[in-house]
Amino acid sequence: MWRENAFGPILACIHPEPRVTVTANVIGASIIAGVPLILAALGGVIAQRSGVLNIALEGLMLIGAFASAWTAALFGSEVGGFWFAVLFGAVFGLLVGWVTVGLRGDQVVVGIAFNILALGATSFLFDVAIRGGGLAAMSVPRGDLTTRIPGLASIPIVGVLFDQHWLVYMTYVLIPLFSYILFKTGLGVRLRACGEYAEGAQTTGVNVLRVRLWAMTASGVLAAVAGAYMVLADIRLFQQDIVRGRGYIAIAVIILGRWTPGGSFGAALLFGGSYALGFQLQALNIPIAGELLLALPYLVTILAIALTGRKVLPPREEGRPLHLAR
């Protein structure tokens, strides 16, 4: 029953039980809601650190969600759905990168236009799919790829962190991995140089255009995987506009996280916790309007940006068209 809406899995792991169990439920629900934001934010961090403002995260998440659901339903393989999401994310991430960087298109306008196009295209293709085979045509076959880590999963309260879908464990690994790459390797230095002073990076031999295109490709892959997670590990079917603004929230997560993977992880859990907390209050029979419950993460976004937005500075080249001497 809960699987029929985007918040079903969150509600399914929340019950009005003793305090320890309630806390564990909130943590588990925060992970479910936070992982897509973390993955999309990681993609945004890479793009913005290179100097590209990737507004298209929303559309890339939608494409990843659709590609994974369609492939998983067609071939009966969750892993196949994941890899198709990676492929589509790379292609469309590179496409958006070429338009915004190679052709010097306005990054905000191109990103918003892509999001609208992705919403229209996935909605149309979804209608075509369900007319051909009913709603089951876009549902993920039943299967359990959740892995419980012995010992760690039995720890009170935080043990829920170690009884998760394999995509969650992948996210755990990606956070320190990208932190190391960005701040401890030559590749990260070149990437950040392109985002801070493109002309200076070019004079030292860095191909800024190539670096930014690769960054946008990686950003597209991560955003698409974020959308795939919502389908493969969360609600297990595709719905029209399944992302519901999470791509835009991911941009706020990047700002609050100071354009770092670790900071984005903390900010994403904050927003994921706002989903979980709202549903926990509802499960405890505290009267809250459903509309306010749905709006809570966005209210948290606005409040967080209003309180901290002036205290952070983005990469200097973020959003600027690439103009380099030939």
DSSP 242-288: -STTHHHHHHHHHHHTTT-HHHHHHHHHHHHHHHHHHHHHHHTT---
Dihedral Cα 111, 114, 116, 120, nearest 10 deg: -170
Helix (H) or strand (E) holding 222: helix 208-229
CA distance 273 to 37: 12
On whether residue 323 sits in a domain, the answer given is: no
On whether residue 167 sits in a domain, the answer given is: yes
- Those residues of the chain that have pLDDT short of 50 are 1-4, 6-7, 11-12, 14-16
Give the pLDDT of residue 187: 95
Please check whether residue 156 is in contact with residue 19, taking contact to mean a CB–CB distance below 8 angstroms. no
Q: Where are the alpha helices (DSSP H) in 76-207?
A: 78-97, 107-133, 166-184, 186-196, 198-203
On whether residue 321 sits in a domain, the answer given is: no
On whether residue 246 sits in a domain, the answer given is: yes
- Residue 103 contacts by C-beta under 8 Å, 6 or more apart in sequence? none
On whether residue 154 sits in a domain, the answer given is: no
The overall pTM is greater than 0.85: yes
Other beta carbons within 10 Å of 104: 12
Residue 266 phi, psi dihedral angles, 5° rounding: -65, -45
On whether residue 140 sits in a domain, the answer given is: yes
Domain that holds residue 280: 9-145+162-311
Residue 308 phi, psi dihedral angles, 5° rounding: -120, -10
| pLDDT tens, residue by residue, 170-184 | 999 999 999 999 999
Give the pLDDT of residue 277: 74
Give the pLDDT of residue 123: 92
The enclosing domain of 128 has a CATH number of: 1.10.3470
CA 162 and chain centroid, separation: 20
How many domains is the chain partitioned into structurally?
1
On whether residue 224 sits in a domain, the answer given is: yes
| Residue 149 backbone class (left: φ over 0; alpha: ψ -120 to 50; beta: rest) | beta
Please check whether residue 4 is in contact with residue 134, taking contact to mean a CB–CB distance below 8 angstroms. no
Give the pLDDT of residue 130: 78
- Tokens found for residue 6: 């985007």
Q: Is 1 helix (H, G, I), strand (E, B) or coil?
A: coil
CA distance 115 to 231: 19
Give the pLDDT of residue 283: 67
Give the pLDDT of residue 8: 52
Residue 312 phi, psi dihedral angles, 5° rounding: -125, 145
- Tokens found for residue 11: 């509600």
Question: For the chain, how many helices (H) and strands (E)?
Answer: 12, 2
CA distance 186 to 198: 16
Residue 146 phi, psi dihedral angles, 5° rounding: -75, 135
Give the pLDDT of residue 256: 87
On whether residue 220 sits in a domain, the answer given is: yes
CA 30 and chain centroid, separation: 14
CA distance 245 to 63: 14
